[in-house]
Amino acid sequence: MAARLTLHEVGLRFGGVTVLHEVGFEVGPGEILGLVGPNGAGKTSLFNCISGHYRPSAGSIRIDGAEVAGLPPSRLAAHGLARTFQHPALQLRATVLENVLLGGHTRLGGGPLTWSLRLPPVGRRERELREEALELLDAHGLGWAAHQPADELSHGLHKGIELCRALMMRPSLLLLDEPAAGLSHGEVERFIETVRDLRAHADVTIVIVEHHMGLISALTDRVVVLDHGSKLMEGTAAEAQADPRVIEAYIGKEAADDAA
Ligand SMILES: Nc1ncnc2c1ncn2[C@@H]1O[C@H](COP(=O)(O)OP(=O)(O)OP(=O)(O)O)[C@@H](O)[C@H]1O
């Protein structure tokens, strides 16, 4: 079942630097939320707090009411969370299929003893997961690459493989960090269709960090705009793009970049 994500006054500090300050919002089951804001606003840092890669210095992060702030990524899988990264984190020497299967390991069942002895239920489960991974790759137009080493494929294909790996976890909460970065126009269009298809057929809540406003407008129900680590506003993508505070935040950043 799709998850509810609730953030309350989340803060993050590195030494004396405040990266996030009292950030709060809620994403309802099955919703698609965009997290946007200028470079350095704190979007990826907030993702890292939600996915357990950073421990927030303050506040609360709940998935379906359970407090998860500070839990490591391995424990968050049990709460239904999966994520992708701005720069796909793949095992480059492994095949595409092996990479996608990594996402299924939490669903293998049993424990280290049954795995190391490779008892019959493990073998059966492995075959089922392998079939499922191949179907997932086929559904995302990557079936042809299943047995190729990941490092022989393009950046755009790496993003697709990483998404399949995340989907192998059967997540109830999916975090996508800049899924369109480095993709061609055609690849972005295909990605938009993929997420629409997910919304129609998978029971999942999705949060997307993205600079590509076309993608954000096409996919999200709501956006949260961050600036300098704080929430600037929350509303639809159209409301955000027309909001003078948001325009000021982006223009101010561009002016500062030009002056540097
Ligand atoms: N591990 C860290 N140590 C110190 N500062 C950090 C660390 N991680 C992030 N920051 C700082 O936190 C701020 C927010 O960075 P973050 O990458 O979260 O922003 P962002 O909104 O995702 O930016 P972009 O759109 O460019 O990816 C930046 O000033 C960054 O330098």
Q: Is 32 exposed, middle or buried (0-12, 13-18, 19+ CB in 10 A)?
A: buried
Its pTM stands at: 0.90
Domain ranges of the chain: 1-80+171-259, 90-169
**69 close to ligand 1 (CB < 6 Angstrom):** no
- Count CB-CB contacts under 10 A for residue 169: 19
**38 close to ligand 1 (CB < 6 Angstrom):** no
Q: What CA–CA distance (Å, rounded) separates 100 from 95? A: 9
pLDDT tens by residue, 79-137: 999 999 988 888 888 999 999 999 887 776 666 666 566 666 667 778 889 999 999 99
Measured in Å, residue 145 CA sits from the centre of ligand 1 at 34
**45 close to ligand 1 (CB < 6 Angstrom):** yes
Query: pLDDT (tens digit, 0 to 9) for every residue of the chain, 260 residues total?
Result: 999 999 999 999 999 899 999 999 999 999 999 999 999 999 999 999 999 999 999 999 999 999 999 999 989 999 999 999 988 888 888 999 999 999 887 776 666 666 566 666 667 778 889 999 999 999 999 999 999 999 999 998 999 999 999 999 999 999 999 999 989 999 999 999 999 999 888 899 999 999 999 999 999 999 999 999 999 999 999 999 999 999 998 887 665 566 56
**48 close to ligand 1 (CB < 6 Angstrom):** no
CATH architecture of structural domain 1-80+171-259: 3-Layer(aba) Sandwich (3.40)
19, 83, 87: which to mutate for ligand 1, most atoms within 8 A of CB? 19
Q: What CA–CA distance (Å, rounded) separates 3 from 68? A: 13
**88 close to ligand 1 (CB < 6 Angstrom):** no
